[in-house]
Chain A
Amino acid sequence: SQTIHQWPATLVQPVGSPLSLECTVEGTSNPNLYWYRQAAGRGLQLLFYSVGIGQISSEVPQNLSASRPQDRQFILSSKKLLLSDSGFYLCARGEGYFPTDTQYFGPGTRLTVL
């Protein structure tokens, strides 16, 4: 079966500190990978997607960045966190061919920036 892991599950960080969230996928090769953010009481906002190693597309200009150093690893980073970066971050893998793949989500990371 295909499993998505996200680490850490919960994170509290001060404003201005760096960020690194990790997403790893098991049971599949060369998956399409996605990073979403969900603010409290709102829908999902697509941040980045990747169709292969080193291939990153950004959907929203901001102080976040993403990298895909390995086939099944997707990392979300920031050099300096803002208060507005607080939220629930979800990684998803796509099943099928981009861009009509069906997305399956990981358990998420809850980020609080103080």
Chain B
Amino acid sequence: AQTVTQSQPEMSVQEAETVTLSCTYDTSESDYYLFWYKQPPSRQMILVIRQEAYKQQNATENRFSVNFQKAAKSFSLKISDSQLGDAAMYFCAYRSAYNAGNNRKLIWGLGTSLAVNP
């Protein structure tokens, strides 16, 4: 079964600085999707970025970018020029590209709580 691990329960960054959140996953599959979601204090889950495993190019979305290392099964999120509004819980998630049984689920990490200091 696939698993997602976020080894940093809490992190902090100074406003305008750069921070990297770690995510590793375990799978025997070759085709899958990876996601980063942000959950601010309002608790609404917001999609930050999505990466297809078959794409070698790292996904970017404005100040958010990923470092996708398929062989290492690593999917880290880099936030550049951190803003106060970036303070939130960040979740890494995995989804198989194959439609069978438990593959329909998003597999979630336990999250990293990011604080942004002014």
When the two chains form their complex, are residues B50 and A44 in contact, meaning their CB atoms are under 8 A apart?
no
When the two chains form their complex, are residues B99 and A43 in contact, meaning their CB atoms are under 8 A apart?
no
8 Å CB contact of A102 from B35, B44, B97, B110: B35
Interface residues of B in 101-118 (CB under 8 A from A): 103-106, 108-111
- Taking the complex as formed, is B42 at the interface, i.e. its CB lies under 8 A from any CB of chain A? yes
When the two chains form their complex, are residues B95 and A100 in contact, meaning their CB atoms are under 8 A apart?
yes
Chain B: number of interface residues, binned into ranges: 20 to 34
When the two chains form their complex, are residues B47 and A104 in contact, meaning their CB atoms are under 8 A apart?
yes
Q: Contacts A46-B105, A100-B33, A100-B95: A110 and B43 contacting too (C-beta < 8 A)?
A: yes
8 Å CB contact of A103 from B42, B47, B96, B103: B47
When the two chains form their complex, are residues B43 and A59 in contact, meaning their CB atoms are under 8 A apart?
no
Interchain Cβ contacts within 8 Å, total number: 49
- Docked complex Cα distance between A57 and B101 (Å): 11
- The interface residues of chain B lying within 8 Å CB-to-CB of A102 are 33, 35, 47, 50
- Docked complex Cα distance between A92 and B109 (Å): 18
Interface residues of B in 13-42 (CB under 8 A from A): 33, 35, 37, 42
- Docked complex Cα distance between A98 and B103 (Å): 11
Interface membership of chain A positions 15-36, coded 1 if the CB is closer than 8 angstroms to chain B and 0 otherwise: 0000000000000000000000
Question: Chain A residues in contact with chain B, CB under 8 A?
Answer: 38, 42-44, 46, 49, 57, 59, 88, 90, 92, 98-100, 102-108, 110
Question: Chain B residues in contact with chain A, CB under 8 A?
Answer: 33, 35, 37, 42-47, 50, 91, 95-97, 99, 103-106, 108-111
